[in-house]
Amino acid sequence: NPFVADPADGLAALESRRSTAETFGIPLAVLAELTHRCPLQCPYCSNPIELDRAGTELSTEEWKKVLSELAEIGVLQIHFSGGEPTARKDIVELVQHASDVGLYSNLITSAVMLTREKLAALADAGLCHVQISFQGNEPVVADRVAGFKNAHAKKLEVAKWTRELELPLTVNAVMHRQNLHQLPDIIQMAVDLDADRLEVANVQYYGWALKNRAALMPTLEQIEETSRIVEEAQTRLKGTLAIDYVVPDYYALRPKKCMGGWGRQFFNISPAGKILPCHAAESITGLEFLSVRSNHSIAWIWQNSEAFNRYRGTGWMPEPCKSCEFREVDFGGCRCQAFALTGDAGNTDPACTLSPHHERIFKAASDEAAGEHNRFIYRNFAGGTPETESAT
Ligand code: SF4
Ligand code: FES
């Protein structure tokens, strides 16, 4: 585990930070979305449709102040993400600062902008872990999904450098109808790359993925086959490759416990400095998310702001959640999905079979999965570009 504390850090110091975190109820790990800029155009991107422009991004000094504040209030791990975090020219400086204030850093990257020199500089700056996203196991599918020529070859190269530099590697594979047939080969690719972990993450449908749902939704048969393949590989590769598996909740009986429950275990910081309960939260209209540029501390925003408290716990729940025995198991599912699919973030997530909206939405999804709409709308700052015939 790359995030296990270095004994040299001093158990007492760590213990004191942990107890500070408990006082505030602050999450131990935070996601820093440094920028929404990205050379890839994945049609399932988890960023909001309305992307933050470069001019609104926090400056280097502002991000450093944020990192220091996070360490002070007890956060232990920082995940540098985006967009593409290496699109920031100051990425090495930010990783160095994270190390200086005692944060364990993870780089979540598409890898295509990295050189070996840059990766070595990041390792020297104290980077603890690298996670590379893959769109398939070979360039024809992978480069088309990414909307970027030669992306796959570059990713393989960077994964190799990562291990040569003795950094732990996670392969993140986002799966959908158009690449699920490659799963056995993707698992083998992760083994060949000497990855420690593989995340088999089925697309979650909000933001860009919801725009592309008809082209991405898998069939029930595909999901059943996927579960079988993952289970077999988890047993076969025990001790070699850890495999995490996220089932698409359109095909589950109950929704996922999204973010561990709203405002309970997680927050992220947007490129412009907003403190958000999840990466898609800005898609919910009518909630005001406060920024690190406001007069409030990060701990205050987490504990006291209206947006974090609106759906915290169980008090906000309508029926059927309110009297449901699972209300503290899944906390009513995903607020962003409830908003995207029913227009009200305060509704039960329609992925739940008990939701009055479930039947209609599930039917739409299975119709789409059986359909022949395969063209993507690529993610970009222009609000999306439809894939042309020549791109397929
Ligand atoms: Fe979860 Fe609400 Fe469904 Fe119960 S009714 S399983 S609490 S989403
Ligand atoms: Fe926002 Fe689930 S993605 S609560």
Averages of pLDDT over runs of 10 residues in the chain (392 residues) are 40 57 76 96 89 94 98 96 96 98 98 98 98 97 94 98 98 96 98 98 88 92 93 97 87 89 94 95 93 96 94 94 96 94 94 92 84 90 82 45
Q: Is 335 in the pocket of ligand 2 (CB under 6 A)?
A: yes
Could you tell me the two tokens for 258? 């999204």
- ipTM exceeding the 0.85 mark: yes
Query: What's the half-sphere exposure (Cβ side, CA atoms, 13 Å) at 249?
Result: 20
Q: Is 176 in the pocket of ligand 2 (CB under 6 A)?
A: no
Burial 19-28 (b: 16+ CB within 10 A, else e): ebbeebebbb
pLDDT score of 24: 52
pLDDT score of 2: 31
pLDDT score of 179: 96
Q: Is 319 exposed, middle or buried (0-12, 13-18, 19+ CB in 10 A)?
A: exposed
Choose among 264, 277, 197: nearest CA to 233: 197
The answer to whether 203 and 175 are in contact (CB under 8 A) is yes
The answer to whether 130 and 167 are in contact (CB under 8 A) is yes
CA distances from 176 to 50, 158, 374 (A): 23, 24, 11
List the residue whose alpha carbon is closest to atom 1 of ligand 2. Answer: 336
Indicate the angle between helix axes 151-164 and 116-124, nearest 10 degrees. 40
* Candidate of 49, 259, 308 to mutate for ligand 2, largest count of ligand atoms within 8 Å of Cβ: 259
Lining residues, ligand 1, CB within 6 Å:
254-255, 320-321, 324, 326-327, 330, 332-333, 348-349, 352, 354
Q: Please check if 45 is assigned to a binding site.
A: yes
List the residue whose alpha carbon is closest to atom 5 of ligand 1. Answer: 321
Question: CA-CA distance, 164 to 160, in Å (whole number)?
Answer: 6
The answer to whether 259 and 265 are in contact (CB under 8 A) is yes
- Residues 6+ positions from 96 with CB-CB distance below 8 Å: 125, 126
* Candidate of 258, 270, 310 to mutate for ligand 2, largest count of ligand atoms within 8 Å of Cβ: 258
Dist. CA 251 → ligand 1 center (Å): 15
The answer to whether 344 and 338 are in contact (CB under 8 A) is yes
pLDDT score of 70: 97
The atom number, within ligand 1, closest to the CA of 324 reads 4
Dist. CA 250 → ligand 2 center (Å): 15
Choose among 123, 119, 40, 129: nearest CA to 80: 129
pLDDT score of 3: 33
H/E stretch holding 298: helix 298-304
The atom number, within ligand 1, closest to the CA of 320 reads 5
Measure the N-to-C terminal CA separation of the chain; round to a whole number of Å: 40
Query: Which DSSP category does 86 fall into?
Result: G
Q: Is 259 in the pocket of ligand 2 (CB under 6 A)?
A: yes
The atom number, within ligand 2, closest to the CA of 333 reads 2
H/E stretch holding 200: strand 197-202
Dist. CA 257 → ligand 2 center (Å): 9
Provide the β-strand partners of residue 202: 175
List the residue whose alpha carbon is closest to atom 2 of ligand 1. Answer: 321
Dist. CA 241 → ligand 2 center (Å): 28
